[in-house]
Amino acid sequence: MNKVVNSAEEAIKGIESGMTLMLGGFGLCGIPENCIEALTKTDISGLTCISNNAGVDDFGLGLLLQKKQIKKMISSYVGENKEFERQMLSGELDVELIPQGTLAERCRATGAGIPAFFTPAGYGTEVAEGKETREFNGKMYVMEHAFDAPFAIVKAWKGDTEGNLIFKATARNFNPLMAMAGKITIAEVEELVPAGELDPNAIHTPGIFVQRIFQGEKFEKRIEQRTTRQA
């Protein structure tokens, strides 16, 4: 079976209006920028996006927000985006905020065949409203559920034709978890190599979790908060 596709346009085939997508990345770090750009060139709309953040006004998921292709965001933090704020306040955009660790674990659970789990995060807060709570060893926990998404889109540093992925530094973040969770997982990589060239000891995401892979045309890798010290 050939997992390699030629372009971002080919990779996103089958994504339709109204679908739920899971996207890797933290801020603008490790986001699948080629697939996001390809989506902006389609008339797909009404998307629900599960992603830790929502990009900035003119990059990342902010590009899809500008074109009003997203109807709902499921995230842990959505600052730094004026268009997002406008759409949220006007009611055009639905937003579900989830504690970051719960979001990560829900992604992991989705891919790991765990329908639900208990976490202490959010107990006693509005996040726990309407959810089952239970005491274990004298401490209270909230039950959280796995997601259900037809597509996950991730970005890796290196990948091979089997779909094995290696991430770089903190660009790993949510990517391996989203990769596990998608029924169809699309991976865009900076460098695509033939199977056998990556050390099996070094693989972060085994190819079993990846259905489509391609080398991105370009990676801008924008920095959100450039912070330096005096040399």
Partner 1 sequence: MALDKNGIAKRIAKELKDGYYVNLGIGIPTLVANHVPEGMTVEFQSENGVLGMGPFPVEGEEDADLINAGKQTITVKDGASFFDSAMSFAMIRGQHVQLTVLGAMEVSENGDIANWKIPGKMVKGMGGAMDLVASAENIIVAMTHTNKAGESKLLKSCSLPLTGVGCVKKIVTDLAVLEVSPDGGFILLEVAPGVTVEEVKSKTEGKLIVPDNVSEVAL
**Which positions lie near partner 1, rule CB under 8 A?**
26-30, 52, 75-79, 85, 88-89, 97, 99-105, 107-108, 119-127, 157, 167-177, 204, 221-231
Least Å distance, CB 16 to partner 1, is 28
Q: Closer to partner 1 by CB, 27 or 163: give it.
A: 27
User: How far apart are alpha carbons 165 and 48 in whole angstroms?
Assistant: 25
User: How far apart are alpha carbons 63 and 132 in whole angstroms?
Assistant: 37
Q: Closer to partner 1 by CB, 5 or 25: give it.
A: 25
Nearest partner of 60 among 45, 44, 39, judged by Cα:
39
Q: Closer to partner 1 by CB, 24 or 163: give it.
A: 24
Q: Closer to partner 1 by CB, 32 or 176: give it.
A: 176
Q: Closer to partner 1 by CB, 15 or 50: give it.
A: 50
Least Å distance, CB 134 to partner 1, is 14
CB of 64 closer than 8 Å to CB of 39? yes
User: How far apart are alpha carbons 137 and 105 in whole angstroms?
Assistant: 21
Total Cβ atoms within 10 A of residue 211: 20
Least Å distance, CB 110 to partner 1, is 11
Least Å distance, CB 39 to partner 1, is 21
Say how many residues make up the chain.
Answer: 231
User: How far apart are alpha carbons 61 and 74 in whole angstroms?
Assistant: 12
Least Å distance, CB 167 to partner 1, is 8
Residues contacting 48, CB < 8 A, separation 6+: 19, 20, 21, 70, 71, 72, 73, 74
